[in-house]
């Protein structure tokens, strides 16, 4: 197993835009059960004894486990390969010097901080449980603890935001000199508090303007756009996500975690209770499992690759790859994709704007 993802399914409270699988309330007993039972799932999946080259703790909110919980969780993970990337998502509200030191001592090499904005107004509107000052304090604590690579997440194109609010957040983020920045235009997902409140999503033009601004401001500060929503200083791209986008296999553990192993696509059921009950009785947790045909598998792995700034074109060895190559050449004639030489391709600026449609053409 090369790439391991662990989903920590708890948050203190739900943010108003959040459609990720996590339960609010941070019940201490349930969190203890999660940390106690995760090693059983890893053992049943055959992960024990492997040495992954990337590990990613996401969620939910991994930092909710606190310094002791994180130490225990890390102790139960397979030992990463030498030089592995070990990423952890944190909510800045949870980051104290003790938590930062525990993360570093446990082996975290990269921490992704859910900053989302540097505007008090925007953070309150999004339902975040921290202000901008906590983000600055989290960055300082993680840096003091010696975490080698820091990333900040931002949300752009908030409906009704005062002019200049996002630009100011982008500047504040850059001023903290992170190694990596992710920028996602707001998405209003069904069932979220924002959707229930009737908030309209940003228009395509608003979202595209925010992405264009992010790309040019971040490029001027030395961050290359290496994926549709991700920017990094050279050498600081997220290796785990790169592996997933390039179509490599990955193994997920925890409620709602997804895996891709060979032609099998698996999604653990999101219910923590069902996950816990199965593992208590020594069984794998319930999951939806799909077996893909060779063509479906190739098509899916190819479609995620085009999110990257540079990707390998289809190898025209099979009829489906030849069809995909023909589709790619048609997209190139329409100015949406361009060859880079050596069999590599990129989306053009216009192609990135309509990336979802391009991916559907190439599926």
Residues near ligand SF4 (CB under 6 A) are 11, 14-15, 18, 20, 22, 59-61, 91, 114
Task: Pick between residue 60 and residue 285 the one whose CB is nearest to ligand SF4.
Answer: 60
Residues 6+ apart with CB under 8 A from 93: 12, 128, 129, 130, 134
- 238: closest CA among 16, 88, 51? 88
Question: In the bound complex, what is the minimum distance in angstroms from residue 154's beta carbon to ligand SF4?
Answer: 13
Using CA atoms, how far residue 123 sits from 126, 132, 154, in Å, is 5, 8, 11
Question: What are 344's strand-pairing partners?
Answer: 312, 341
Task: Pick between residue 130 and residue 239 the one whose CB is nearest to ligand SF4.
Answer: 130
Task: Pick between residue 156 and residue 362 the one whose CB is nearest to ligand SF4.
Answer: 156
Task: Pick between residue 54 and residue 61 the one whose CB is nearest to ligand SF4.
Answer: 61
Beta strands in the chain (DSSP E): 3-8, 10-11, 23-24, 54-59, 85-90, 110-116, 149-156, 180-185, 224-227, 230-232, 251-253, 258-261, 264-268, 287-291, 311-312, 337-341, 344-347
52/33 Cα distance (integer angstroms)? 24
Question: In the bound complex, what is the minimum distance in angstroms from residue 243's beta carbon to ligand SF4?
Answer: 22
Please count the residues of the chain: 363
Task: Pick between residue 25 and residue 222 the one whose CB is nearest to ligand SF4.
Answer: 25
Task: Pick between residue 61 and residue 268 the one whose CB is nearest to ligand SF4.
Answer: 61
The secondary structure of 267-309 as a DSSP string is EE-S-HHHHHHHHHTT-PPPEEEEEPPHHHHHHHHHHHHTTBS
Question: In the bound complex, what is the minimum distance in angstroms from residue 62's beta carbon to ligand SF4?
Answer: 10
Question: In the bound complex, what is the minimum distance in angstroms from residue 18's beta carbon to ligand SF4?
Answer: 3
Question: In the bound complex, what is the minimum distance in angstroms from residue 91's beta carbon to ligand SF4?
Answer: 5
Task: Pick between residue 23 and residue 215 the one whose CB is nearest to ligand SF4.
Answer: 23
- The torsion angles phi and psi of 75, rounded to 5 degrees, stand at -65, -25
Task: Pick between residue 60 and residue 202 the one whose CB is nearest to ligand SF4.
Answer: 60
**Is the Cβ–Cβ distance between 255 and 229 less than 8 Å?**
no
314/104 Cα distance (integer angstroms)? 40
Question: In the bound complex, what is the minimum distance in angstroms from residue 137's beta carbon to ligand SF4?
Answer: 17
Question: What are 55's strand-pairing partners?
Answer: 4, 86
Question: In the bound complex, what is the minimum distance in angstroms from residue 190's beta carbon to ligand SF4?
Answer: 15
Q: How far is CA 220 from the centre of its chain?
A: 24
Question: In the bound complex, what is the minimum distance in angstroms from residue 363's beta carbon to ligand SF4?
Answer: 28
């Amino acid at each position: 197993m090369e790439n391991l993802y662990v989903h920590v399914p708890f948050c203190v409270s739900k943010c108003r835009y959040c459609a990720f699988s996590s339960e609010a309330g941070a019940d201490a007993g349930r969190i203890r059960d999660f940390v106690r039972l995760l090693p059983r799932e890893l053992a049943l999946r055959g992960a024990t004894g492997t040495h992954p080259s990337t590990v990613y703790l996401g969620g939910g909110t991994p930092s909710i486990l606190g310094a002791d919980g994180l130490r225990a969780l890390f102790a139960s993970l397979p030992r990463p390969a030498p030089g592995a990337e070990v990423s952890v998502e944190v909510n800045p509200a949870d980051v104290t010097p003790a938590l930062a030191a525990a993360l570093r001592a446990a082996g975290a090499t990269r921490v992704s901080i859910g900053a989302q904005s540097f505007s008090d107004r925007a953070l309150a509107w999004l339902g975040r449980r921290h202000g901008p000052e906590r983000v600055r304090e989290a960055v300082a604590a993680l840096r003091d603890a010696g975490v080698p690579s820091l990333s900040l997440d931002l949300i752009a194109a908030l409906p009704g935001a005062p002019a200049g609010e996002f630009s100011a957040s982008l500047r504040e983020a850059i001023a903290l000199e992170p190694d990596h920045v992710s920028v996602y235009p707001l998405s209003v997902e069904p069932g979220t508090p924002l959707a229930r409140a009737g908030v309209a999503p940003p228009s395509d033009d608003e979202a595209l303007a925010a992405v264009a601004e992010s790309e040019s401001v971040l490029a001027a500060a030395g961050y290359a756009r290496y994926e549709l929503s991700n920017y990094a200083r050279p050498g600081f791209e997220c290796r785990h996500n790169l592996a997933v986008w390039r179509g490599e296999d990955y193994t997920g553990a925890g409620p709602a975690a997804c895996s891709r192993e060979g032609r099998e696509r698996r999604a653990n059921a999101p219910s923590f209770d069902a996950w816990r009950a199965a593992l208590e009785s020594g069984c794998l947790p319930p999951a939806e499992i799909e077996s893909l045909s060779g063509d479906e598998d190739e098509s899916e792995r190819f479609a995620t690759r085009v999110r990257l700034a540079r990707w390998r074109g289809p190898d025209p060895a099979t009829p489906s790859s030849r069809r995909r190559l023909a589709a790619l050449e048609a997209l190139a004639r329409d100015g949406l994709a361009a060859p880079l030489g050596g069999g590599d391709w990129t989306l053009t600026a216009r192609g990135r704007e309509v990336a979802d449609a391009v991916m559907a053409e190439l599926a």
